[in-house]
Structure 1
């Protein structure tokens, strides 16, 4: 009964988002999926703040507040509306049914929409752990199978393996500060590319936008402002809206 209820919540949220996935959305661009006790005060917090400073609308879930239908609905809506997903795989990520529910739903959305991108981070684990080639996640999935049934456990295993095949970034290769900067830059570039696809046909607008992006240095941690001024009719509004 518990498994059916959770799956129904996912289906309801998905159907709700399908009518809204027309580019308008609720405002979220990036969804961070993480195990709170593992990474909230480190990777998740640093990345979230870095994204916000770069002007990116990111959603950082508070795992401890997942009680009641309203919180669940808002959480799932944020997943549905986001364009980029950053699962932060840590040692106890697979121990959380909520993390796995999020991940499975994210994978389904990414399969159905090529414009949605998954950028995994391997915090204190390796890709082989997430692919279930080691005991680290395997034991957690075994317990989930016993509690929630083999069908849901199978779905979670498939989602883990699928995301682990995506080329991600490993904390041990970069360190926290550098990894945060790299992720903010990558997310910014992906969002910028998507936002400018519609603008590239405008005369000379692409070169001007590229110049502005260099000035903004979106991966930096400080706050920057751009003032666009000039005589009327030269494309100030078009450039700002692009």
Structure 2
């Protein structure tokens, strides 16, 4: 019973972290030797254990179980084989990571030392705000260098955003468009779409990103 309760508590923590992540974290459930209906508490598999726990704790665990049970995942009982399931999970995770990580040319030469030096300057463990400009002639690899650094550091932040071609985008679409692009990674699109003027965007950026540890490249 203690092992099951420990699993309930971990699941509750995962749900709480996901709900506070503004969409930057996601739960991908694998139903191993259980059915989604068991997790949704439509059967007695977990209800018997929950009935023996304190009401306040059981309530929070029930909520977490039901929420995860609603998420479409993988069911080992029904999938053709464990090998197929593992391959499916890997593909799904890589697909989601590709939405965050930036594609760079493989086997880059001469960037490791530059990346290490820039990461050292950024001092990501610090609580201070850092601005770093990478400058040089066109075609020397500034954007590629920024992408490599972004990929290495993004997991250390609550949220990340990479805006490319900022000058061209601002000239063609205006600053409000850029503000919406920036905020789209951290805030509900229903509120972001309400930005009509630059001042609106500035105020929302201050409100949404205040006290958050974020990484932004442009």
TM-score, structure 1 normalization: 0.44
Task: Indicate the structure with greater helix content.
Answer: 1
The structure with the larger Rg is: 2
TM-score, structure 2 normalization: 0.48
